[in-house]
Amino acid sequence: MSDIEYSLVGSHPETSILWMQVKNGKPQMKCIDGLLRPNEYPEKGSKILLGDVTSTLIKISGPHDSIQFTNPPSFDEQRWSLELISSELNINIESFPYWGFGLFSSCYLNKVELKGSLIRRAKLIFDLVASLGRNPWEPKFTFFWEKVTKNRTGEHRDEWLKLLNFAKNGMEEEIEEINSRYLIVEKNTKEAKLFPPGWDQENSKMSLKEVKKHIEIARQALHDQNAGGLKRALDRAEAKLIEADPLVGLQNEELLQNQNLKTLEIDNIPFLDLVNDEEE
């Protein structure tokens, strides 16, 4: 999909603001000089309860250029704001209680602002929901949730579903693109006039079988909401397509070896000392 298509989805083509229910306050970490550090870090720092939502976002959105607190924790270890910066996304997260005076982890929500391309934001949210194994837009207490967020739960759900569906549609298109290339290469492997000298047609057919297998794995990964597994399967399929295509000609190792054997070795080239001949 093109950037123009991205901009047609939603009222904010470059930014998404989502509210997420926290279920678990762990893991506990440290804030040292405004930076997020592991709890085992030797230097002293402010304790922080990162929560399941933010810890998952950090895990699936990396690697990061920096993870820095814009509002460090103080007495309340679960009340803070931080910013994640990576090459593809900027993520601002604000954690604060919305009911029960923050006595329990589920009293907290995370307000998350995502900046970056729509497809990257959508895939991140797709991965988040799959990793959490629950719907982060479903609140513990609806009344307080709607009061703080100033939106009804149905409106929250709709915004999430827009991103989830966009991500799913995008990944379906990626699978179909590889499948279309598979059909083209399959046709090429039946055209003898396209074969380079020494082309191994059987190896090509075996590579095509691998492509088909990886495409099915990608489809299953999409069904399981496993975006990472889908990408790995499509990468493997693409590599096998290159090997199978006679118009590319990279699959036949024997052909490459034969070509290398035809190359003259430098040690076998006769050496003529023209300098000494001239002196004589």
Average pLDDT over residues 88-105: 93
How far is 196 from 259, CA to CA, in rounded Å? 12
- Residue 266 pLDDT > 60, yes or no? no
- Residue 12 pLDDT > 80, yes or no? no
Average pLDDT over residues 249-274: 52
Query: Do 171 and 130 fall within a single domain?
Result: no
How far is 208 from 230, CA to CA, in rounded Å? 18
176-208 pLDDT per residue, tens? 999 999 999 999 999 888 888 888 889 999 999
Query: Of 106, 124, 151, which residue is a domain's last?
Result: 151
Q: pTM for this one?
A: 0.78
Query: Do 100 and 220 fall within a single domain?
Result: no
Query: Do 222 and 140 fall within a single domain?
Result: no
SS (H, E, C) 192-239: HHHCCCCCCHHHHHHHHHHHHHHHHHHHHHHHCCCHHHHHHHHHHHHH
What pLDDT sits at residue 249?
Answer: 55
DSSP of 10-64: SS-TTEEEEEEE----PPEEEEETTEEE-TT-SS--EEEE--HHHHHHHHHH---
Query: Of 93, 125, 151, which residue is a domain's last?
Result: 151
What pLDDT sits at residue 230?
Answer: 94
- Residue 23 pLDDT > 90, yes or no? yes
How far is 162 from 260, CA to CA, in rounded Å? 54
What pLDDT sits at residue 5?
Answer: 42
Query: Do 177 and 133 fall within a single domain?
Result: no
What pLDDT sits at residue 260?
Answer: 56
- Do the domain assignments include residue 269? no
121-156 pLDDT per residue, tens? 999 999 999 999 999 999 999 999 999 999 999 999
Q: Where are the beta strands (DSSP E) in 38-131?
A: 46-49, 66-71, 80-85, 89-97, 108-116
What pLDDT sits at residue 192?
Answer: 87
What pLDDT sits at residue 277?
Answer: 53
- Do the domain assignments include residue 223? yes
- Give the N- to C-terminal CA distance of the chain in Å, as an integer: 73
What pLDDT sits at residue 3?
Answer: 41
CB proximity list for 74: less than 8 A, separation 6 or greater: 46
3-class SS at 166? Answer: helix
Average pLDDT over residues 210-216: 98
* Residue 24, burial from CB neighbour count under 10 angstroms (0-12, 13-18, 19+): middle
- Do the domain assignments include residue 185? yes
- Residue 34 pLDDT > 60, yes or no? yes
Determine how many CB atoms are found less than 10 A away from the CB of residue 194: 14
Query: Do 85 and 174 fall within a single domain?
Result: no
- Do the domain assignments include residue 178? yes
Token pair for residue 137? 């837009």
Do the beta carbons of residue 118 and residue 132 sit within 8 Å?
no
Domain count within the chain: 2
- Do the domain assignments include residue 117? yes
Query: Do 40 and 81 fall within a single domain?
Result: yes
How far is 272 from 183, CA to CA, in rounded Å? 55
Average pLDDT over residues 33-49: 90
- Do the domain assignments include residue 254? yes
Query: Do 63 and 190 fall within a single domain?
Result: no
CB proximity list for 187: less than 8 A, separation 6 or greater: none
- Do the domain assignments include residue 233? yes
Token pair for residue 2? 């093109």
Determine how many CB atoms are found less than 10 A away from the CB of residue 30: 18
Q: Are strands 46-49 and 28-32 parallel, antiparallel or unpaired?
A: antiparallel
What pLDDT sits at residue 174?
Answer: 97
Residue 87 has φ and ψ, to the nearest 5°, of -70, -25
- Do the domain assignments include residue 280? no
Range of the domain at 187: 167-263
User: Which residues are bridge partners to 32 per DSSP?
Assistant: 35
